[in-house]
Amino acid sequence: MHTVQGGERVNNTVLGGLKILNLAEQYPGPYATLILSDLGADVINVERPIGGDPARQFDAFYQSINRNKRSLALDLKSEKGRQIFLELARDADVILEGYRPGVAKRLGISYEDISAINDRIVYASISGFGQDGPYKNRPAHDLSYQSIAGMLYRQVDSGQSFQVPKVETGDLSSGMFAAIGVLSGLFLRQQTGKGTYIDVSMTDGLVSWMTTNLVPFINKMGQPGLPAEPGYYIYKTQDGKLISISIAHEDWFWVDFCNEIGLSELTHLKSEERRTRFEELKQKVSQAISKHTRKEWEERFEKAGIPFGSVLSLEEVQHDPQFTQRGLFVEIPECNDRPAMTHVRQPLKFEGRETIPTKHAPHLGEHSRVILREIGYAEDEIDDLFSKNICYEELSKQHHS
C-alpha cells in the first residue's frame, strides 16, 4: 500500500487549474467528480447548510467518494446565496447538478442563467430519466433504473425475484458518462470557444450498457447477449471456495482446460456443441473442479495459461498481490482531526502525472471561509453571511486549509 507524503496535491496533475462546482449529491455526481478531482481538478461541493449532502449520514460511504474536494455550505434558496454562487460561476469551467428537471431553473442557477454570465461554462445535469420524457419527474433510485432499463430481464423471464444487485450500476454508469461528457464538453470548448449543456440520464446509460442484449432482441437476430458456455462459469472447489473460468467460446482454451481438469475426452467439443450441451457439461466440469482446492487450481491454471479468476472476498481483494503491485490502495495520512484512511486510487495511470488521492473528504462547509475570501469577500462580510445562516461550517471539526 502506498502512503501519500504530506497530504498535499502534487503539481503535475492532468486537470490542474480546472474549476468545478458540484451541486450533485449522493452517488452519481460525487463519483463523476471523484474521477475529475483525482485527476487534479479543483472540485467544490456546494452543499445545503443544514445536513449537507444526504450521503453524509453514511460517513464511510461519503468519505470514500469525496476525497480531494472542498466543501462550501451555501443556502441557494436565499437571494444572497444565489448571488454568491453566480460569482463563483463567473470563472468556473464546469458545473454539475443532480436536481430533478426544473429545480435548477427555479433556483436561478440553470444553464441559461450561468451561460448568460459565463458563455464558456460546461454544464452537466444528471437525473434519473433525463430532462424530458414521461418519467422525467418520477422519483426513483438505482434499483428502479436497472429494472426499467431491462438489466433484470432474466427475472421477468423466470418469474422469480432474485437478490437485489449489490453494485449500484446506474449511479456508477451515469457518473462515468457525466465525466466523459464533461471532458468532451471541454474539448468542444477548445474548438468553439463556447461552453455547452449536457443532459445525463441514469436510465439511458443503463440502456446503453444493454446494447448487446437489446440490439439482437429488437432486430429479431436471436437470443440477447452471449449464449451460456460451460467454460464461462463459476465453480466450487474442494475447500468450498469459488473460482471463475472465463473461456469466452474459444476452442483452443477449452482444449487446454479439459486436459488440465482431467476431461480430455471432451477436448474435441466445439463452441456450438458446448452451448447445446451446457447443463450436462457444466455438471461434469463441476465434479472435476470439486476434486482440488482453489489454491491448487490457481497454480495449475496459471501454469497452463487458462483464463480464470478466483472469486475473492473484500479482504482478499485488499491484499491481492496484483492490486498491491499496481498501487491501487493508497493511505492518506492523519491530518488534524482526520485519522489515516486507505482509499482506492484513481485507476487511470498517466505517464509522468500523478492521480492519487491526497486529501481527506471535507467536513461540511470546511472551506466556506476560504472560498469566500478567494472571490473577494472581507472578513466582516463573511461573518455576516455566517450570522445570517447563508453560509455554514462545522466549527467543532473545522480546520482551516
First to last CA, the chain: 26
CA distance 131 to 111: 13
**DSSP class of residue 99?**
P
CA distance 331 to 340: 7
pLDDT tens for 175-201 read 999 999 999 999 999 999 999 999 999
CA distance 21 to 86: 11
Write down the pLDDT at residue 340: 92
User: Is the pLDDT score of 396 beyond 50?
Assistant: no
Angle at 92 between CA 86 and CA 97, to 5 degrees: 70
User: Is the pLDDT score of 338 beyond 70?
Assistant: yes
User: Is the pLDDT score of 397 beyond 90?
Assistant: no
CA distance 161 to 118: 50
CA distance 381 to 278: 72
Taking Cα atoms as reference points, which of 359, 356, 318, 367 lies closest to residue 340?
Answer: 359
Q: Determine what percent of the chain is predicted with pLDDT higher than 70.
A: 94
pLDDT class of 310 with cuts at 50, 70, 90: very high
CA distance 240 to 263: 21
What is the separation of C-alpha 393 from the centre of its chain, rounded to a whole number of angstroms?
A: 27
User: Is the pLDDT score of 68 beyond 90?
Assistant: yes
Taking Cα atoms as reference points, which of 124, 123, 164 lies closest to residue 145?
Answer: 164
pLDDT tens for 215-253 read 999 999 987 877 889 999 999 999 999 999 999 889 999
Write down the pLDDT at residue 357: 87
pLDDT tens for 252-285 read 999 999 999 999 999 999 999 999 999 999 999 9
The CATH H-level superfamily of 232-311 is formyl-coa transferase, domain 3 (3.30.1540.10)
- Other Cβ atoms less than 10 A from the Cβ of 249: the count is 16
Residue 355 phi, psi dihedral angles, 5° rounding: -135, 30
Write down the pLDDT at residue 395: 67
pLDDT tens for 91-148 read 999 999 999 999 999 999 999 999 999 999 999 999 999 999 999 999 999 899 989 9
Concatenating the DSSP letter of every residue in 124-164 gives EEEESS-SSSTTTT----HHHHHHHTTTTHHHHHHT---PP
Taking Cα atoms as reference points, which of 136, 111, 153, 156 lies closest to residue 203?
Answer: 136
Write down the pLDDT at residue 249: 87
CA distance 46 to 72: 5
Write down the pLDDT at residue 11: 67
* Residue whose cell numbers read 449464449: 227
For 377-393, what is the mean pLDDT? Answer: 95
Query: What are the residue boundaries of the structural domains of the chain, listed by start?
Result: 19-213+357-392, 232-311
Does domain 19-213+357-392 correspond to CATH entry 3.40.50.10540?
yes
